Amino acid sequence: MSDGHNFVITGASSDIGSALAQYLDQKTNSDLMLVSRTGPGPQLMRPHLRLCGIDLTKEADLLKLRDAANKRFVDSYAVVHCVGDFWLHKPLVQTDWSEITTMIGSHYLTLCGVAWAVLPQMVRIRGGRLVALSCNSVAYNYPDMAPFTSAKAAVDSFIKCVANEYSQFNVIANAIALPTIRTSKVLDLKENGDYDNFITPAEVAALLVDTILSAPSIMNGNTLKVFRHSHTFFNQGYFERNPRNRQIDPAVKPPGSDTNAGDG
C-alpha cells in the first residue's frame, strides 16, 4: 500500500472501523472518508471527511456516498466495509423477524449497495479496492447463527462476483474471514471464551493495511482466513464454548410469535 493511498471506511464508528481509521491516521498520510450511520467516529490527529447519519441500505444515502467519493477522489482508492450488526447466538425461531432482516441487510445488503455506488467511478479511473469483513463461522455452519452466518456467506460470494466482473478494470475485491474479535460486547457474551487468543480490532486494522490492502492485483476474489490457535476451539464442542444462557427448545417459538397467538 502506498503511503498516501485514499480510503473510504464504511462503519467508521464500529470497533474495527475506528481502529482502522486510527491506524491509517497515525501511520500513513492517507486521505480518509469516514462513513457511519451513527456518530462521527474516532478522534484523529488529522482532519478527514466525515459522513454521518448514512444508512447504507437506503438508495438516497448511497448516492450521497457516491457523490462525496466522486468529488473527493480523482485517483484510485480503497473501500473497507466494516458494517454489520452484532449477533447474539440463539435459535432461528427464537429470533424476531425484524432482527433477521436487519442482520442480512446490515452485513450483505450494505456491502452490495456500497459496491453499486462506487464501482462506476472505479471503472472510470481504472482501479480501486474493495475489502469486506467475513467470518470463520461460514466454514462451519454452526447452530444458533443462521441469519448471521448466511449473511457472511453472501459477503464471500458477492466479493468473488465483483472480482470476476470488474477485474478487467483493475478493481481488486477481497474479504477477510475473522475469528472472535476481542470487544466489550464479545467479552460480556462469551463467558467461557479463550480471551487470550481473541484477535483485537487493532490487530485486524494492521492486518488489513499491511496484508490485504497491500496484496498484488493478482490476489483477487479471495477470502483470507485469519485465526490464532485456541486450545478450547480445537478441543471443545461448540456448545461447551458457547453455552446457552437459558434452556431453549429450538423447535418452540417464543410466546406471541404466531400470527394467531392469543386467539384460542
What are the pLDDT digits (tens) for 143-178? 999 999 999 999 999 999 999 999 999 999 999 998
Q: Strand 31-35 and strand 223-225: pairing?
A: unpaired
Given this model, what pLDDT does residue 42 score?
Answer: 79
Given this model, what pLDDT does residue 257 score?
Answer: 39
Given this model, what pLDDT does residue 164 score?
Answer: 98
Q: How far apart are CA 131 and CA 193, in angstroms?
A: 28
Given this model, what pLDDT does residue 60 score?
Answer: 98
Instruction: Give me the residues of the chain with pLDDT under 50, please.
Output: 2-3, 247, 255-264
Residue-range domain boundaries for the chain? 6-241
Given this model, what pLDDT does residue 248 score?
Answer: 58
Return the CATH class of domain 6-241: alpha beta
Residue 101 exposure: Cα atoms within 13 Å on the Cβ side:
4
- pTM higher than 0.75 for the full model? yes
Given this model, what pLDDT does residue 255 score?
Answer: 43
Any residues with CB less than 8 A from the CB of 112 and at least 6 apart, and which?
A: 158
Q: What type of residue is 89?
A: H
Residue 3, judged by CB atoms within 10 A of its CB (0-12, 13-18, 19+), counts as exposed
Residue 82, judged by CB atoms within 10 A of its CB (0-12, 13-18, 19+), counts as buried
Given this model, what pLDDT does residue 213 score?
Answer: 87
